[in-house]
Chains A and B, each alone.
Chain A
Amino acid sequence: MSAPYLDELSHDEHALAGKNEFRQMLAGFRQGDSGLIPVLLGLAALVLYFYIRNHVFLTAGNITNLFIQATIFVLLGMAEIWVLLLGEIDLSIGFVAAIGAAVATILVDQNFHWPWFVAFLLALIATTGIGLLSGLLVVFLKLPSFIVTLAGYLGWQGVLIYMVDKENSGGTVPVQEKVLYNLVYGNLSPLGTWLFIGLLILLGSVFMLRSYRNRRSSGLVYRSIYFTIAKIVAMVVAGVWLAIVLNTDRSTFSVIHGMPFAIPIDVAIVLGGTFILTKTKAGRYLYAIGGNREAARRAGINVNFYRLMAFCLAGFTAGVAGLLYSSWLGGISDAIPGGTYVLYAVAAAVIGGTSLVGGRGKMVHAVIGGLVIAVIYNGMALLSVSVAVEYIVIAIVLIAAVTVDSVARRGNTAR
């Protein structure tokens, strides 16, 4: 039998291969490759359900609000994915984010008055440093990350309480500085919103068309051009819808429209993370280490360095989440539910399709999982259901997501 990927295949045969796309897709689906489809269907079902129960759910104002809530779950989910990819876990990121929030909020408030960029930078350095510390304990003392970050969960909560109380503000430090406030409550102008979305679509299309052309011209098997076209069309439709929604006036008193700054920040982190994971050696090595650490070591990879890097990236991403969180709440309090947020972060990653045993996951998983959690969180609030019900529903969605995932992956290993 001649291997179908060999380059002496004629172009006719390539086109023929294209007709089997659907079957390949089904095969890939069974391998757990197209794992996004079930969770996207689930997300659509949830949206539909909340819309039917309460039409306010799909108003421009609520959708924007939902996106803002999602940005924080998404960022924390991404932070968690860096370590989940290695088969590790970080239970401290909720409070690490809170430490970042506290550093930034305290440094820009009335006592310190530091410029916002210095405060933000120090906050991110602090959270990255905390990630590094956890990483050092895990990598060099060979302690289990579960325990190290469980200690972090407790310890950083203590540090947070200390920092906030030190400010003598009765357990909360309010945001008074404009830039920090505007991370969530400031908006791009409607034109800026269109330009930002247009630019993303343009870059995405160019990128996809280029990789299609490169594969085709190098004689490798390529997917039919219609796949690329379909993806571009989907991007355009989603982008236009998003721009229209975000540019709709969502205030009853004055005019508020445009994309909240939180969204471009989130998009930048998602794209940056995806870039590292898919285009750089560092990303490839994170997957390799998560898949088979010994194999990675024998391939000459500096395993310890990349493991440390993952913990640092988790800390950094959590820091960004902390900045948005402080902005969203209008301040930082010592009663932040950092524990719940960690669990939401893990849930977001897992609902999106990231594996807890390592080696399998993508940044986009946090986006979708974060949206699912935000939809439930937001929708439940609209229906004025109790927190009790909300927790139970998220629990069920989590179990459903991993069940679908594990069923889809069954029969995946040939041996």
Chain B
Amino acid sequence: MTPTPGLQGDNVALTSDPRHSGSGVGASPSDFLLSLRGISKSFGAVQAMTNVDLDIPEGQVTALIGDNGAGKSTLIKAISGIWAPSSGTMYWRGNEVHIHTPRAASELGIATVYQDLALCDNLDIVQNMFLGMEDTKFGLLDEITMELATVQTLKDLAVSTVKSVRQRVESLSGGQRQAVAVARAVMRESKLVILDEPTAALGVSQTAQVLALIKRLASRGISVLVISHNLSDVFAVADRIAVMYLGSIVSSGPIANYDTTSAVEIITTGASHHAASSASIK
């Protein structure tokens, strides 16, 4: 995809593809799977997020980009129930929700792969994949079912380099661990999968696999929110872009409104000096 800098505002459809119809000024949260309004988060004196508005449509890939320390991880941790925002409102399909615990997030259908991979090194792949949502039979762990499902999921994702699903995660390479973490998020029937830099540790072919996987998720109707520093990855998979700068979303819209140059500019300066795309900046 070679997008041209957007000529129109966020609220104007650029192409006839309905998936590219954007949100915009006055967009209603009920049009989206998840909408954030005015989310802020401070850690003591550090204001990590200020007044974040973000809309995540159903079945699309939204890329969240921004410089180191812009607050991307802080934002997705708020969506995932790791910490409650200091202020602001979240809407799930138009209804106000309070996601204060990881369990609340997963009950809504949000599955997250964290940048600091949340895996237990001392447990094996199967145990990690099912952690917190184990299959049971008569109240006891059903290892066979879980192992079969793990093997199947890894096969679906074309992860073929692990020797045994019963090996401990500590013995895996960085890419294999990433694959396990992604597989874990995919395996539950999620409505929104959040990936924080899923390809950061991966080699070329594994990166391609993860990107293909992201597209496959979207084509199954699952929304994906992906954080990445790699703009070519972003332009390869994303339907929409949201740029974070110093704790705020400074620009968002369909991918067609951006190109690499304008994206880099917004990431680094918080604004684009391309007159052409300025309309998409809040």
Contacts and interface: CB of A to CB of B under 8 A. Distances in A.
A58 to B, nearest CB: 38
A38 B127 CA distance: 27
Given A220-B147, A300-B103, A292 B119 contact: yes
A167 interface: no
A299 B113 CA distance: 11
A7 B153 CA distance: 12
A281 B134 contact: yes
A143 B102 CA distance: 25
Query: Which applies to chain A's interface (DSSP): helix, strand, loop or mixed?
Result: loop
Contact of A31 (B101, B133, B168): B168
B102 A300 contact: yes
A298 B164 contact: no
B102 A413 contact: no
Contact of A299 (B122, B132, B136): B132
Interface residues of B, number: 41
A280 interface: yes
B233 to A, nearest CB: 23
Contacts of A218: 144, 147-148
Interface in B132-166: 132-134, 136, 139-141, 144, 147-148, 151, 154-155, 160-165
Interface string A362-391: 000000000000000000000000000000
Nearest to A218: B144
Nearest to B167: A31
A287 B122 contact: yes
Given A221-B164, A279-B140, A360 B132 contact: no
A413 B148 contact: no
Interface residues of A, number: 38
B148 to A, nearest CB: 6
Query: Which applies to chain B's interface (DSSP): helix, strand, loop or mixed?
Result: loop
Interface stretch (B67-75, B170-178, B259-267): B170-178
A410 interface: no
Interface string A287-310: 110111011111111000000000
Interface in A267-297: 278-281, 284, 287-288, 290-292, 294-297
B121 interface: yes
Nearest to A293: B120
Given A290-B122, A295-B120, A299-B118, A412 B141 contact: no
A280 B174 contact: no
Nearest to B131: A299
A300 B171 contact: no
B172 to A, nearest CB: 6
B127 A215 contact: no
A298 B114 contact: yes
Interface of B: 80, 82, 101-103, 106, 112, 114, 118-123, 127, 131-134, 136, 139-141, 144, 147-148, 151, 154-155, 160-165, 168, 170-174
23 contacts: A4-B163, A6-B151, A215-B144, A218-B147, A278-B141, A281-B134, A284-B123, A284-B134, A287-B122, A288-B131, A292-B119, A292-B120, A295-B120, A299-B102, A299-B132, A301-B132, A359-B120, A412-B170, A413-B171, A414-B173, A415-B170, A415-B173, A415-B174
Given A297-B102, A414-B171, 15 more contacts: A5-B163, A7-B148, A7-B151, A218-B147, A220-B151, A280-B140, A284-B131, A291-B122, A292-B119, A292-B121, A299-B102, A299-B133, A359-B121, A412-B171, A415-B174
